[in-house]
Amino acid sequence: MAGPSRSFDPRLPVLVGLGTADDAAPVAHLMTAAVRAAADDAGARGLLGAVECIAVPQGSWSLTDPARTVARRIGSPWARTIRFEVGVSQQEVINHVLAAVAAGDYGTAVVVGGEARRWSRDGGSETDEEGAPPDEVVSRPPDFVAPVEMAAGIVLPPVQQYALIENALAAASGLAPAEQREEIAALWARYNAVARDNPAAAFGQPRGAGEIATPGPGNRPLAYPYNKWHASQWTVDQAAALVLCSVEAARAHRVPIDRWVFPLVGLDAGHALSLSRRRDLHRWPAMGVLGRAARARVGRPLDEVEHIEIYSCFPSAVRIQQRELGLPLEGTPTVTGGMAFAGGPFNNFVLQATAAMLPRLRAQPTTLGLLSTVCGLLTKPGLAVWSATPDGHPPLVSDLATEAAAATGSVGVVDDHHGPARVATCTVGYVGLEPTRTYVLADVDPDHRCVAFSDEPGLAAAVTAGELIGSDVHIDGTRVEP
């Protein structure tokens, strides 16, 4: 651990406090409680009156400016407030603040987010206390979802698109349906075992691989091969806050140096390409770009990092990131238990995971902690590496959009195809326990693809038997003809 006499750049950003809240309460209350807990964690309650910026990732809530409510409640009503829209990566929010602190724009800043979905479901009603928008709103890039995907109905819920990715991965890996389901369930059972030992997990009840893999009334099928317990569970009351300071501000507020955690890597990639336009549906080259940059910065393969939290909204997200980052496929890359079992607050899990990661780094100061971010539908990646021991170099904070775009192959999308096509991937949606609609991404030629659906029962049966991918079908507009 760095000693008190260690020389640092006064503007070097450090994370000094982390806090969480999980009461049944309005989201602004949860966020405020998390910020106060983070100041207490830093050992410096005086930080609350010195906050110059509060950044909030947009949640499922419709509040105008919850950051302003938090700022007023903690005693920093003058703080600049920033809301980052859905579609801006959670790592990008953290990177924005890191860069601003390093530039001298702020001495002390907070990143905080949260959800009160369970409280709202049980009858709670949120009050919007602000009559004006935030000082700044950061928007997402266009082309998150292609119009043809919306026309075919594979936008919401996102489980359909992640199931399409999962089935493309199974086909590329040569897995039969039973092997695919077994691999997915085994991975998620390992995640569940971690959640059982996490006292903060919202759904930490034991669930074995067989239970996770088997659809039924308590584990309804969502989109083949996914059931309820394969998916992120976002009906939670959870908030998390990170207090970031310059070294100068941390010292001025007498934050003990053993509370400091140093950002080594903060990477994102703003390049956005909708699912149907990606040439390789089973890969995420943009995350590979970030992984190679992170490896070069920390000077070791990422599979040697001691503590890892891979964003886990659905199994395909984890399985593809493991491959892109060079992590062992038989591993369990989580310290929380993942979004299905620890809880997946809509657009805030990265903050929850960071708050869970950092105590481990303080307890083992020479180790590293890696966290990844998924934004959208494997659209914009994010990657962070933290350590309680500085390595003498400034953090690598960058948007690698140009490199990600260069690494990502694309195809054109035909909006209204009439004729033959070859199925690249597919899935089945359900009503209750019954399969209803088949969704298909199909290649028209080597450089063009179309999106279609069908309500034919026989086609759904072919999907679950693993027989449809690679077969030829006839498309009429956005429908697969029998």
Give the C-alpha separation, 37 to 289, whole Å. 35
Query: What percent of the chain stands above pLDDT 70?
Result: 96
Give the C-alpha separation, 67 to 271, whole Å. 27
Give the start-to-end residue ranges of the domains of the chain.
Answer: 13-143+236-244, 412-481
Q: Which whole number is the average pLDDT over 59-86?
A: 97
Cβ atoms of 80 and 135 within 8 Å: the answer is yes
Give per-residue pLDDT as tens, 406-424.
999 999 999 889 999 999 9
Where residue 285 falls (left for φ over 0; alpha for ψ -120 to 50; beta otherwise) is: alpha
Q: What is the DSSP string of 419-466?
A: EEEEEEEEEEEEETTEEEEEEEEEEEETTEEEEEEE--HHHHHHHHTT
According to the model, what pLDDT value does residue 5 have?
A: 46
Three-class secondary structure of residue 382 per DSSP: strand
Burial category of 11 from C-beta neighbours within 10 Å (exposed 0-12, middle 13-18, buried 19 and up) = middle
The fold adopted by the segment(s) 13-143+236-244 is: Peroxisomal Thiolase; Chain A, domain 1 (3.40.47)
Task: Tally Cβ neighbours within 10 Å of residue 6.
Answer: 11
CATH class of 412-481: mainly beta
Give per-residue pLDDT as tens, 442-454.
999 999 999 999 9
Q: Find, among 115, 88, 161, the residue nearest to 349 by Cα.
A: 115
Q: Which whole number is the average pLDDT over 29-48?
A: 97
Give per-residue pLDDT as tens, 232-265.
999 999 999 999 999 999 999 999 999 999 999 9
According to the model, what pLDDT value does residue 4 have?
A: 43
Cβ atoms of 37 and 19 within 8 Å: the answer is yes
User: Using 50, 70 and 90 to split pLDDT, how confident is the model at 7?
Assistant: confident
The alpha carbon of 350 is separated from its chain's Cα centroid by a whole number of angstroms, namely 6
Q: Which whole number is the average pLDDT over 349-366?
A: 97
Helix (H) or strand (E) holding 115: strand 108-116
Give per-residue pLDDT as tens, 75-94.
999 999 999 999 899 999 99
